[in-house]
Amino acid sequence: MSVPLTLLGLLERAPSHGYDLKRDYDAVFGRGKPLPFGQVYATLGRLARDGKVVISDVEPGDGPERKRYIITELGATEVETWLTDPVEPEPHLQTVLFTKVVLALMLDRPAAHYLDTQRAAHLKRMRELTEIKRSGSLVDALLADHGLFHLEADLRWIELTAARLDALAREVRR
């Protein structure tokens, strides 16, 4: 997730304070991983430095002054470019899952046990996502579907790799 571009996108909707940006980010994009306030303000500082946002006004607050940020034309252009460029297709060919299996085989460790453990972790996460999908909003359901489809693909790979583990072991030990 690109936090700077997401914040710029939220600012394109309307000028906002950092607190409001964090609240909106967390409500829609921060599922299970809220954005720290420090990251919000550090990111806004960099965006201002780079000319992508400006401060429109400063209001007194209970603590520090409250700054309202506005996206600039440069920032809006960057959001437009980001939204129209396709995301790089995943998965990449070198994944942690693949690396662990191959290294386990190279080191004569129990790769089959690792695959079993990973399968159990994936199934547990799938149950969690299924519950989120069942009880959440449409946004939650779509995010859960995305995760479930990726986990299903990983499980298919785990099954295929488990079936070919002996052949893979021979190949990587050469």
Q: Token pair of 159, please?
A: 């099954």
Distances (CA, A) of 131 to 58, 81, 104, 134: 43, 35, 33, 5
**What confidence tier does 90 reach under pLDDT thresholds 50, 70, 90?**
low
Q: Judge if pTM exceeds 0.95.
A: no
Q: Return the half-sphere exposure (C-beta side, CA atoms, 13 A cut-off) of residue 164.
A: 12
pLDDT at 151: 93
Query: Which residue did the predictor score with more confidence, 156 or 32?
Result: 156
**What confidence tier does 91 reach under pLDDT thresholds 50, 70, 90?**
low
Residue 66 has pLDDT above 90, yes or no: no
What's the chain look like in SS3?
Answer: CCHHHHHHHHHHHCCEEHHHHHHHHHHHCCCCCCCCHHHHHHHHHHHHHCCCEEEEEEECCCCCCEEEEEECHHHHHHHHHHHHCCCCCCCCCCCHHHHHHHHHHHCCCCHHHHHHHHHHHHHHHHHHHHHHHHHCCHHHHHHHHHHHHHHHHHHHHHHHHHHCHHHHHHHHCC
pLDDT at 174: 81
Q: Is the peptide bond before 91 cis (omega within 30 degrees of 0)?
A: yes
Q: What angle do CA 46, 52, 58 make, to 5 degrees?
A: 75
Residue 92 has pLDDT above 70, yes or no: no
The CA distance from 13 to 64, in Å, is 25
Backbone angles phi, psi at 153, to 5 degrees: -65, -40
For the residues 102-108, what does the mean pLDDT come to? 89
pLDDT at 165: 95
**What confidence tier does 1 reach under pLDDT thresholds 50, 70, 90?**
low
pLDDT in tens, 117-162: 999 999 999 999 999 999 989 999 999 999 999 999 999 999 999 9
For the residues 12-20, what does the mean pLDDT come to? 93
Residue 85 has pLDDT above 90, yes or no: no
Q: Token pair of 20, please?
A: 């409001």
pLDDT at 58: 79
Nearest one of 21, 46, 48 to 36, comparing CA atoms: 21
